[in-house]
Amino acid sequence: MNNPLLLPFETPYQAAPFSKIKPEHFLPAIEESIRLAKEELEELLSQPQTPTFQNTFPPLDTLGELLNRNTSLLFNLNASETTEGIQKAAQLAAPLVTDFQNALRLDSRLFDRIKFVYENTDRSTLNAEEQTLLEKKYKGFTRNGALLTEAGKKRLRSIDSTLAKHSLSFGKHVLADTQAYFLHLTQEEDLKGLPKQVIEAAGIMAQHKGLEGWVFTLDFPSYVPFITYAENRSLRKKMVLAHGKRGFQNNKNNTISLIIEIIKLRKERAELLGYSSHASYAMEERMAESEERVHSFLSLLYDKAAPAANKEWNALEQLAQTQLEGEPIQKWDTAFLTEKLKQKQIDLDEQELKPYFELTQVLKGLFAIVGQLYGLNFSFSKKIEGYHPDVQSYEVTNDKGAFVSLLYMDFFPRSGKRGGAWMTTYLSQNKKRRPHVSVVCNFTPPTKTTPSLLSFQEVTTLFHEFGHALHGMLANTTYASLSGTNVYWDFVELPSQLMENWCFEKAALEGFARHYQTGKTLPENLIVKLKKKAQFQQGLQTLRQLSFALLDLSFHNDKANEIEDVKDHEMKVMAPFQRTPSIPENIICTAFSHIFQGGYAAGYYSYKWAEVLDADAFEYFKEQGILNPKTAKEFASSILSKGGTEHPMKLYKRFRGKEPNIEALLNRSGLINA
């Protein structure tokens, strides 16, 4: 009982007491949590009464809450503040948790009870959420092997346990390769073209490593500015090659064998359950419904984007004649040339924007916008501890003073934190409790002379992840399994991508885009340029997203188990999109964490799918006024609060009054006449 993970958290709102939790606490706590969950299961199954919805499904939804709390803590920390001890605990705990989940889904006694209720319940006696829970739990069991033979169930357990371990290993290897490389420079001439803040940050990084000069890493706040602004082409090449080698080098972090094993096991798992492929299995629980519909959707976007992309690439090639002295464009030139072209066509230098986007001011403005729209208040709290000193904790309340959620904000890269940005949940909402959510980013850190000045891409990233956070914070369902972001995967990006739209609107920008030294608001001419930036190279950007979506699907279709050479396979899939020469030592998929570590397997297309939804939804916001609380509260009541309690198209039509129209996306992207 000295293990804090086996005790109630005696803290405000039952927040995690991070300072008391040690890596060695996790494995014994999870083992005990599993034992207690098994006791709960036996108690549920031993009821003498005839099975009904009320005596079966509510207790099933809360079964293993202690286990859920502890595994959320472990796997979230493994992503945002990992150590060797945390990684070891995650590797050992993952198969235990998977084995328990499989044992639960494959327990014939439990399935018989669920099946009895499913077949003998009058649906008219249930509300919409209860009907969804009934359907979801029943399908969850059948889609996870409840109807298999004992031999089939045994094989499924083995596959799932192995996949859980492989996913963690993939992330561990990519993180290790990312952090192993850095570019050390000692000559000032090598810094030509780089912004002052980037140079200063590189100097601080060198000091941390005990080196003279400057150090650039593969973390996005260092990597992206370097390949975008560095005039030294050979150094850009070094950085791009290092980034593209992650997981593809002759070292212990190579992920090729993991990828082969993952895609074959996913295919075998799908076939075991009666599906032709993992994609087919996944699409059954998506808005898209089928691979065919996704391919049709992607093909439509390709046809609209390709003509624009060709024109955009021609413009880059023309610019390369002077910038590269006639040399052909290589992979390490595209970001550099794109920035030069943007400055030429739009007269917009991204660095000109950064002084207007100081992180504290942007966050204050974001809170104000969300406060006006949704009636939320954010109070910084010192009594709610974070898992790292950089983490900011907030108590979120509504306009009546009622507690809504805890919110953790974690902004800067560091050792032990994976790249990218994401929203996650530490404690999910149900009718008895409010949620604890976290937004994790890797933004440009402050230096000795400047605060954290965000690139515009980082600003949109913050708004994006905050949209996910709103989905979690405003959840108002009875059952945790239907709460917040527990929705169809190709619907989950709607709230996040919708929030990005406010970054381009004058009425919103006026509230937070202020020069960190003078306090002046972002000039009108720069706002106009931001609007133009939103359509800049949308043809190429769209094709880039489509290429990732198709690469993802190719690893999960009915031919996936035939892939033997991952590099050769990727080259064939990407060939129609390839505009620079292929690089033998570079590859995308060996660090494609979205599909081999995260939850986007056969789902990367959902980013573009959700863009159709968000463009259409924002049209309605613009019609009513982008800061109109009435519209926002309609969105909250129809979508954000509902989670997965009903089919997403029903929720969307309830808000919008109609199905989404792709024309809104094409118009916003400037592809309407392409």
pLDDT exceeds cutoff 70 at 1: no
**Which residue from 66, 56, 200 is spatially nearest to 115, judged by alpha carbons?**
56
Which tens digit of pLDDT belongs to each residue from 198-229? 999 999 999 999 999 999 999 999 999 999 99
In this structure, are residues 476 and 228 in contact, taking their beta carbons and an 8 Å threshold? Answer: no
Pairing outcome for strands 403-410 and 436-440: parallel
Q: In what order do the strands lie in the sheet with 422-427?
A: 376-380, 392-398, 403-410, 436-440, 422-427
Cβ contact 136:644 at 8 Å: yes
pLDDT over 70 percentage in the chain: 100
Q: How confident is the model over 449-475, as a mean pLDDT?
A: 97
**Sign (positive/negative) of CA torsion 300, 303, 308, 314?**
positive
SS3 at position 92:
helix
pLDDT at 124: 97
**4-105+107-147: CATH topology:** Glutathione S-transferase Yfyf (Class Pi); Chain A, domain 2 (1.20.1050)
| Residue indicated by tokens 């002295």 | 325
pLDDT of residue 673: 67
Report the pLDDT value the prediction gives residue 437, as an integer from 0 to 100: 98
What is the overall mean pLDDT for the chain?
Answer: 96
Q: Between the CA of residue 141 and those of 33, 58, 306, what are the distances in Å?
A: 22, 16, 43
Cα separation, 346 vs 523, whole angstroms: 15
Q: pLDDT tens digit string along 497-550?
A: 999 999 999 999 999 999 999 999 999 999 999 999 999 999 999 999 999 999
Domain 355-534+606-669 CATH class label: mainly alpha
Give the mean pLDDT of 125-150. 96
Provide, rounded to the nearest whole percent, the portion of the chain with pLDDT above 90. 96
Of the residues 65, 395, 465, 493, which is catalytic?
A: 465
- Between the alpha carbon of residue 417 and those of residues 272, 420, 440, the distances in Å are 36, 9, 9
**Residue 452, C-beta contacts closer than 8 angstroms, at least 6 positions apart:** 358, 359, 360, 411, 412, 443, 444, 445, 446
Distance CA 480, CA 156 (A): 26
CA distance 386 to 301: 43
CB 459 within 8 Å of CB 472: no
326: confidence class by pLDDT, cuts 50, 70, 90: confident
The count of C-alpha atoms lying within 13 angstroms of the C-alpha of 77, restricted to the half-sphere facing its C-beta, is: 27
In angstroms, rounded to a whole number, what is the distance separating the alpha carbons of residues 491 and 494? Answer: 6
**Does 614 have pLDDT greater than 60?**
yes
Band of the pLDDT at 85, cuts 50, 70, 90? very high
Would you state the pLDDT for residue 598? 86
pLDDT at 170: 97
| Identical fold, 4-105+107-147 and 355-534+606-669 | no
Reported as a single tens digit per residue, the pLDDT across 351-403 is 999 999 999 999 999 999 999 999 999 999 999 999 999 999 999 999 999 99
**Is a pLDDT exceeding 90 seen at residue 419?**
no
Non-local (6+) Cβ contacts of 290 within 8 A are 280, 283
Question: Where along the chain do its domains lie?
Answer: 4-105+107-147, 181-244, 256-325+538-596, 355-534+606-669
Tens of pLDDT along 535-584? 999 999 999 999 999 999 999 999 999 999 999 999 999 999 999 999 99
Exposed e or buried b per residue across 227-244, where buried means at least 16 C-beta atoms within 10 angstroms of its C-beta: bbbbebeebbbbbbebbb
According to DSSP, residue 601 is labeled T
Over 80: is that where the pLDDT of 140 sits? yes
Bridge partners of 407, per DSSP, are 394, 437
pLDDT value of position 266: 98
| Catalytic annotation present for 634 | no
Cut 0.85: pTM above it: yes
